[in-house]
Amino acid sequence: AQKVTQTQTSISVMEKTTVTMDCVYETQDSSYFLFWYKQTASGEIVFLIRQDSYKKENATVGHYSLNFQKPKSSIGLIITATQIEDSAVYFCAMRDPASSGSWQLIFGSGTQLTVMP
């Protein structure tokens, strides 16, 4: 069965530093898709970045990047030069079409990031 696990419930960092949020997943297949979303204090859920499992290069978008370690079933989100407005809950999600036979997106439980001035 598919599963996505985020063990870090909350993280606090100082502004302008780099933070890494962990995510591990379980899947039986070699082809799958991994996503990171951000949920702001207002409740809005925003897509940040995606990693396709068949790509060896780590995805990067703006000050977000991924540390994809396929043998460890791990997809970490790295935020460089953090800003106060990066404070939010970050969710990792996986789509494993072969196992689920669908476009179902499975979410982790989220990590609360607090960026302090």
Partner 1 sequence: DMKVTQMPRYLIKRMGENVLLECGQDMSHETMYWYRQDPGLGLQLIYISYDVDSNSEGDIPKGYRVSRKKREHFSLILDSAKTNQTSVYFCASSLSTNNQAPLFGEGTRLSVL
Site residues for partner 1 per CB under 8 A: 33, 35, 37, 43-47, 50, 52, 91, 93, 95, 97, 102-110
CB of 52 vs partner 1, minimal distance in Å: 6
The token pair that represents 108 in the structure block: 């982790």
Q: How far is CA 80 from the centre of its chain?
A: 14
Nearer to partner 1, 55 or 63 (CB): 55
H-helix or E-strand containing 21? strand 19-21
The least distance separating partner 1 from the CB of residue 17, rounded to whole angstroms, comes to 26
Q: How many CB atoms lie within 10 A of CB 88?
A: 22
Q: Cβ 48 to partner 1, closest distance in Å?
A: 9
Of 56 and 103, which CB lies nearer to partner 1 in the complex structure?
Answer: 103
Side-chain half-sphere of 101: how many Cα atoms within 13 Å? 0
Give the nearest distance from C-beta 31 to partner 1 in angstroms.
8
Structure tokens at 16: 């302008």
